[in-house]
């Protein structure tokens, strides 16, 4: 048989990771990434990329959700331990999460048994960000900087023979050529590609600021977070605006983000603001990872990660690839 032809729709962190895993799993295949936006133009590039999945991230069962998270952590750990970690945008650090009102928001049952350290903050640590914090936790984690990861994984993909095609796919019948298997990693684009109205945007806005002294992440009440990054560029956030399609920077959101960040860490008042960014998180419950036959075309869906696509892309991609392999093998058997 000729080498099977596979298309991956979408070049964000989910699509590029899926494409790379496909090359590793299905040897001698021709894999093509088709997308309208790449690298810094994707929603993935807006995200801070800290590994801290929220409770709104869900697969079809609790067991599947936990498997996705655990497998993603191991995938990132493998890169983190390699010499390519800096080029791939991986770095480890620690984080505090504080609350003045609710002890439970400082806990995360999805990663407490996964990360090396997850413990309650002591009385002195509760005063790091000023007075009034009643509850807190300290944990170790990692960051995936997509401004580095996406170019890194795309290069790995193309060096291994992968193809890149820039273009918008409006329907599965409008693909530029015949493919034996298609992976739908289009994020919010799947809303119309699949007529999936369970998929809604959650608008996010962040501030990128130069904070060379920041080595630890901080979370506070009301979606306030400060996360270190590469080249001394930290991410200050954020907002979660349900069902909003506004891609413009809102000066009121920017002012609120900066005010909350400075309340959390007063030393931020004099930092250099580099830019403001906006992205639409593709939110769906549960995240859709499943196969489907569409007009005779074998399609594997992998989308709806919300604000947790960067951290949990590998785990969902592994399941998507497995589904794709099984679909392809069943196709071969049907021809024998």
Q: Give the CATH number for residue 54.
A: 3.40.50.720
- In the structure encoding, which two tokens stand for residue 1, read together? 């048989």
- Contact by Cβ (8 Å): 316, 308: no
Residues in the chain: 336
Q: How many distinct structural domains can be found in the chain? A: 1
User: pLDDT tens, position by position, for the chain (336 residues)?
Assistant: 467 899 999 999 999 999 999 999 988 899 999 999 999 999 999 999 999 999 889 999 999 999 999 999 999 999 999 999 999 999 999 999 999 999 999 999 999 999 999 999 999 999 999 999 999 999 999 999 999 999 999 999 999 999 999 999 999 999 988 999 999 999 999 999 999 999 999 999 999 999 999 999 999 987 899 999 999 999 999 899 999 999 999 999 999 999 999 999 999 999 999 999 999 999 999 999 999 999 999 999 999 999 999 999 999 999 999 999 999 888 654 432
The Cα diameter of the chain in Å comes to: 71
Tell me how far apart the alpha carbons of residues 73 and 90 are, in angstroms, rounded to a whole number.
12
- Given CA atoms 271, 118, 145, 102 in this order, what sign does their dihedral have? negative
Q: For residue 146, give the H/E element and its range.
A: helix 146-159
Environment class of 330 (CB within 10 Å of its CB; exposed 0-12, middle 13-18, buried 19+)? exposed
- Mapped onto helix, strand or coil, the DSSP state of residue 142 is strand
For 235, the domain range is 5-335
Closest CA to 33 of 227, 144, 167: 167
- Given CA atoms 177, 180, 186, 192 in this order, what sign does their dihedral have? positive
Where are the alpha helices (H) located in the chain, listed in sequence order?
13-25, 62-80, 85-88, 146-159, 190-193, 251-264, 309-335
Closest CA to 121 of 223, 220, 201: 220
């Amino acid at each position: 048989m000729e080498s099977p032809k596979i298309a991956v729709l979408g070049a964000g962190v989910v699509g590029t990771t899926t494409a790379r895993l496909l090359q590793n799993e299905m040897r001698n295949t021709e894999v093509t990434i088709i997308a309208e936006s790449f690298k810094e133009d994707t929603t993935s590039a807006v995200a801070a990329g800290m590994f801290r999945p929220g409770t709104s991230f869900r697969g079809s069962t609790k067991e599947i959700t936990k498997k996705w998270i655990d497998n993603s952590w191991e995938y990132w750990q493998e890169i983190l331990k390699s010499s390519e970690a800096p080029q791939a945008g991986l770095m480890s650090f620690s984080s505090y999460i504080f609350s003045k009102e609710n002890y439970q928001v400082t806990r995360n049952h999805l990663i407490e048994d996964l990360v090396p350290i997850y413990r309650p903050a002591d009385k002195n640590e509760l005063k790091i960000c000023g007075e009034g914090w009643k509850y807190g936790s300290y944990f170790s984690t990692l960051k995936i900087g997509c401004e580095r990861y996406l170019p890194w994984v795309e290069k790995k993909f193309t060096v291994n023979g992968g193809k890149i095609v820039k273009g918008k796919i409006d329907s599965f019948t409008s693909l530029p050529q015949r493919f034996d298997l298609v992976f739908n990693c289009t994020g919010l684009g799947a809303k119309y590609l699949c007529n999936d109205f369970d998929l809604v945007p959650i608008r996010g806005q962040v501030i990128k600021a130069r904070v060379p002294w920041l080595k630890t992440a901080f979370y506070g009440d009301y979606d306030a977070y400060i996360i270190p990054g590469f080249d001394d560029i930290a991410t200050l956030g954020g907002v979660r605006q349900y069902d909003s399609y506004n891609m413009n920077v809102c000066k009121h959101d920017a002012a609120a983000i900066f005010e909350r960040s400075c309340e959390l860490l007063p030393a931020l008042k004099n930092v250099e603001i580099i830019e403001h960014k906006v992205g639409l998180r593709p939110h769906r419950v549960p995240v859709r990872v499943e196969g489907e036959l569409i007009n005779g075309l074998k399609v594997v869906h992998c989308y709806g990660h919300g604000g947790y696509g960067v951290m949990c892309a590998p785990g969902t991609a592994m399941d998507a690839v497995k589904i794709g392999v099984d679909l392809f093998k069943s196709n071969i058997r049907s021809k024998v």
